[in-house]
Structure 1
Amino acid sequence: MSKANDTTLVLGTVSTLVFALGMCMCMIERWHAFTQGIIAGVIGIALLLGLASLIKGVK
């Protein structure tokens, strides 16, 4: 595996986990973390958009 593939794999995994955690924080009322969940979700989306531009640049 090349360095670019390693970078995209790690960035994709991290951004997906951040996005999923943010959505869980919004949906589970017991956590009382709706605002923080939205912030985490937006960060995850931003990372995924950055990943998309990184993949386009690699190919």
Structure 2
Amino acid sequence: MKKENLASMILGIIGGIAFSLGMVMALMAEWNLFIPGVIAGSIGAVILIAIFPVYWILAGKKMFKITLPLTTSSLIGAVGFAGLVASLVMILTTNNVAQHPGYTIASIAIGLVGIVALVICYPVYKIMSNKKEIAE
């Protein structure tokens, strides 16, 4: 295994565990760990973001160029992911779904918008990059 792949894998595991545990800590009101959860989640997010520069440095390659197609597709992906997370938070924080059907309907709608946004990221990038083929 190459060193850049191993480092990325280790950082991904550590960052993913810290981020997910922090979010659970922050969202579980019974635990009363909101502030420590936000801190742990933030540390996990920073570790996950650090995967990209660590990989490129260890691989000895130049970082990718930031272009309009890359930025646009990344923003669409971020909005889509935020939609999915908002959907899950709305469902998980509703105490009694039967008493609040509006929350369920809204969370499903937001989740579907998030899924569509995530699905169109790559085609948008390819179209904006003037590439002929959408899937390789």
User: What is the TM-score of this pair, normalised by structure 2?
Assistant: 0.41
How well do the aligned residues superpose, as a CA RMSD in angstroms? 1.2
Alignment of 1:44-59 (within 5 A): 44-57=44-57, 58=59, 59=61
How many pairs align?
A: 59
Amino acid at match of 1:51: I
Identity score, percent = 34
Alignment of 1:1-59 (within 5 A): 1-57=1-57, 58=59, 59=61
Partners of 2:16 and 2:43 lie apart in 1 by 10
How far apart are residue 5 of structure 1 and its match?
Answer: 1.2
Amino acid at match of 1:26: A
| 3-state DSSP of counterpart to 2:55 | helix
User: What is the TM-score of this pair, normalised by structure 1?
Assistant: 0.87
Segments of 5+ residues of structure 1 without an aligned counterpart are none
Q: Which has the higher helix share?
A: 1
How far apart are residue 55 of structure 1 and its match?
Answer: 2.5
Amino acid at match of 1:23: M
How far apart are residue 34 of structure 1 and its match?
Answer: 0.1
